[in-house]
Homo-oligomer: A and B are copies of this chain.
Amino acid sequence: MLPDEADQAQRFEKARSAQAGALLEDYVELIDDLLGSGGEARPTDIARRLGVSHATAIKSIARLKREGLATSKLYRGVFLTPEGHDLAARVRARHRLVVDLLIAVGVPERCAELDAEGIEHHVSEAALAAFARFLEAKRK
């Protein structure tokens, strides 16, 4: 009934580490969206869209910079490094695939959007590939 001890520990460890990256992923995706839709990515906008205080957003942006995903100068908005931009692209593709999969199995669209925001960070490459195959098969 119970899985092997080491296996189970590894599963939990994987979930923890995925979660640790989730915040960075959401930030770069959002920043890339803001930059892409014509404008700048300013800390206040980022904070409002994430639903956190601007102080919190600024601290997280500092972490993005520390990890080489973003740059910013005083009062100049936030930009993504090439690494940040790559990450954003992967994260956005994954986000869309997760939403599409959820909808394809019958989850209401609005609900799919809500759930995907958390789910996406835990979907492995192998699962994504399966999702893509499933959607492709269904399309015909």
Interface residues of A (CB under 8 A from B): 1-3, 5, 8-15, 18-19, 22, 26, 33-34, 36-37, 48-52, 101-102, 105-108, 111-115, 117-119, 121-124, 126-127, 130-131, 133-134
Shortest C-beta distance, A132 to chain B (Å), equals 10
CA distance A130 to B115 in the complex (A): 13
Select which of B36, B102, B121, B131 is within 8 A of A118 by beta carbon. Answer: B121
Shortest C-beta distance, A1 to chain B (Å), equals 5
Select which of B108, B119, B124 is within 8 A of A130 by beta carbon. Answer: B108
Q: Which of A13, A15, A126 has its CB near the most chain B CB atoms (within 10 A)?
A: A15
Cβ A14 vs Cβ B114 within 8 A = yes
